């Protein structure tokens, strides 16, 4: 599991096929043919990582917009991001890196 830090940058993979349906997002893994559906909050995060965003910025924005404390937000957003990174729907890189780095 990745230990997310505020300066890590998250961006979604530009090759992922997805569509929005009634506030949720449905994505397809082209390699396996598997479909994934994100709930409303997952869809909010998905939209916010359309452009590269720092983990700290993403969490700060979500805390300001939703009734959640900072620690809980960071834990839940980190767990969600880890899942989509593991499934290759998004990439994680340090703020100074020119290219995505794989989480360890």
Long-range (24+ apart) CB contacts under 8 A made by 13-20 are 13/88, 13/89, 13/90, 13/91, 16/89, 18/46
Evaluate whether residue 18 is within a structural domain.
yes
**Stretches in the chain below the pLDDT threshold 50:** 98-104
* pLDDT for res 96: 66
Query: What confidence score (pLDDT) does residue 97 get?
Result: 57
Residue whose C-alpha is closest to residue 50's, from 15, 12, 16, 80: 12
Indicate whether 70 belongs to any domain. Answer: yes
pLDDT in tens, 9-39: 999 988 888 999 887 899 988 878 888 999 9
Q: pLDDT value at position 2?
A: 80
Q: How many CB atoms lie within 10 A of CB 8?
A: 22
Q: CATH code at 50?
A: 3.90.930
Residue 65: give the domain boundaries: 9-93
The count of structural domains within the chain is 1
pLDDT value at position 81? Answer: 96
Which tokens hold the place of 66?
Answer: 């939703």
Residue 11 has a pLDDT of 94
């Amino acid at each position: 599991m990745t230990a997310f830090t505020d300066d890590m940058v998250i961006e979604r993979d530009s090759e992922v096929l997805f569509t929005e349906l009634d506030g949720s997002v449905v994505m397809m893994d082209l390699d396996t043919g598997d479909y994934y559906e994100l709930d409303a909050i997952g869809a909010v995060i998905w939209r916010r990582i359309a452009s590269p965003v720092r983990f700290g910025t993403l969490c700060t924005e979500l805390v300001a917009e939703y009734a959640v404390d900072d620690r809980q937000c960071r834990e839940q957003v980190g767990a969600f991001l880890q899942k989509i990174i593991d499934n290759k729907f998004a990439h994680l890189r340090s703020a100074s890196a020119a290219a995505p780095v794989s989480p360890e």
